[in-house]
Structure 1
């Protein structure tokens, strides 16, 4: 079954990035950006821009009825996931495939509790260097989406359907047959780079050169590596090196999402990163002092908003 109708919920950095890409390659009415009426009014009044170009999006409210999406993409922040799951109910049909580009290691299961894991493909967004200020997104590299099933070694018909659509729309992707390890690897990278830059300020460039920021980033990542062995994911030093290499290739002037949140005085995803690490560390009796220190410092920053 060919993918034709796409719905996206969450018009943050990834939502704008992916929406702008698809809007140039499929009919306008086949790409729907789901948002409440207040947000839609603001988007239409102020407009949304990607690399200086105005995005021409077709907005729909959660209440509007229409054909279910063939592909539904979640690009909300973690704290907005619960409300987003409710908002997309009119876009989920028998053959809908759901992708979650959220950070962390739990959103697929949360979505699957409502709509069924049979509709969900595991997804990792990596390599993008998008910076969003207000309604303006700047991005030099959109990175790629890794897609795959939870079960290791499987390339399902769902994966093939999404891959065919991505080929048709020239969207960068990679099929992964060990998604749990890839997802934990991305989680490890986020725990390091997001939190280090949020605490120290600066940009990706500060993690790409020798010094305290880079040392903190890698130390935080190593705590995730240790935890992965307790839960059976078994990340290795090779995976640590792989993800550091990915981070080293990002635009040095770019900033991770948590750093952008701190600068804008928004509450961050620290619970999703250090919060998860601390919880797992307590559960498996693994010391996580670096993430504990980062957690405390980010909470202290947020308390001053």
Structure 2
């Protein structure tokens, strides 16, 4: 299968690498010039649980010309519209587009560029990091849940599931993936923003009772707002999932920490805690913790001179 990875940071490199090693034709798309040049010159270097190096193609999104069978979206949430515009020339009539972005509400943006019959929405709990340009840190295991937003698209989506599973990505077709997307957003809402603000690993943050009070309140706000929009969410089950994820990923610096603290880049806070705060305002549901966390992250972006 011919696959573009649209947004080839840490997670894009993980998926691109595994799909490439499974025998697919894979092209990485990104705009980080140092990353592009490092991979062109030295290949993509893999470290962590294994050591490897692969000569995988990479280019700027607007340089891609060959229509794809599958495009996996891994760009940052705020960069999604620009990415979709940049790759419109490789979106064929039957090109499937799988969104695995963090956060909420991306389907509304994607529908402006892609027919519903070709859109797959998903969620992943794989993790990855970048040691530097062209060097991806891959540790532990994960999984993916995905669904065609067109009810008639399940059969075609199952073909994508098979390709991803041949690459060891542990994918399941989910007949209702929206609760899983909200659950992952809740994981990010309790870990990404907090670890970025506290400058710590997940395990370090979750180690104190004070932090756990914050975690439980954030979860409650996510559940209240999600349920009010018609999403079926079980607060205890989500809490258990968040705590388990924190234990498994205790040594991990989440992506928002990587963006804000390590690389001084804008964050996706408006699509995680910020999305819940906005939706809460619309519905008349108080979300003081999500509001405060969003404002604190924006304040940190200003302090660092990146907003």
TM-score higher than 0.5 here?
A: yes
CA distance in 1, matches of 2:64, 2:138: 32
Between 128-137 and 103-112, report the one with greater CA deviation: 128-137
Which of 2, 7, 18 in structure 1 is aligned with 2:15?
18
Structure 1 moving runs of 4+ over 6 Å: none
Are the counterparts in 2 of residues 201 and 259 from structure 1 also a CA contact under 8 Å?
Answer: yes
Partner of 2:117: 118
CA distance in 2: counterparts of 1:293 and 1:122, whole angstroms: 29
Name the count of aligned residue pairs.
297
Distance in 2, Cα, partners of 1:193 & 1:157: 35
1:44 aligns with 2:29: no
1:9 equivalent to 2:6? Answer yes
Q: Distance in 2 between matches of 1:202 and 1:35?
A: 28
How far residue 118 of structure 1 moved from its aligned partner, in angstroms, is 1.0
Name the stretch that deviates more: 273-282 or 12-21: 273-282
Contact map agreement 2:269 2:294 (CA 8 A) in 1: yes
CA distance in 2, matches of 1:212, 1:65: 52
Aligned to 1:233: 231
* Match in the other structure for 2:156: 158
CA contact (8 A) 2:123 2:146 kept: yes
Show structure 2 runs of 5+ residues with no match: none
Unaligned runs of 5+ in 1: none
| Distance in 2 (alpha carbons) for counterparts of 1:46 and 1:285 | 53
**Equivalent in 216, 219, 231 of residue 218 of structure 1:** 216
Mapped partners of 2:187, 2:171: distance in 1:
19
Task: Determine the structure 2 residue equivalent to 1:63.
Answer: 63
My pick for the range that moved more, 292-301 or 56-65, is 56-65
Query: How many Å separate the matches in 2 of 1:59 and 1:125?
Result: 23
Equivalent residue of 2:112, what SS? helix
Structure 1 residue 14 displacement after superposition: 0.8
Distance 2:282 2:76 in 1: 26
How far apart in 2 are the matches of 1:150 and 1:65? 27
Which residue of 1 is the match for residue 108 of structure 2?
109
In the superposition, the TM-score normalised over structure 2's length comes to 0.88
What is the Cα deviation at residue 245 of structure 1? 4.0
Give the conservation status (yes or no) of the 8 Å contact 2:192–2:256. Answer: yes
TM-superposed deviation, 1:213 = 2.5
Higher mean Cα deviation, 213-222 or 46-55?
46-55
Give me the whole-angstrom Cα distance separating, in 2, the residues matched to 1:100 and 1:8.
11
Provide the aligned C-alpha RMSD in A: 2.3
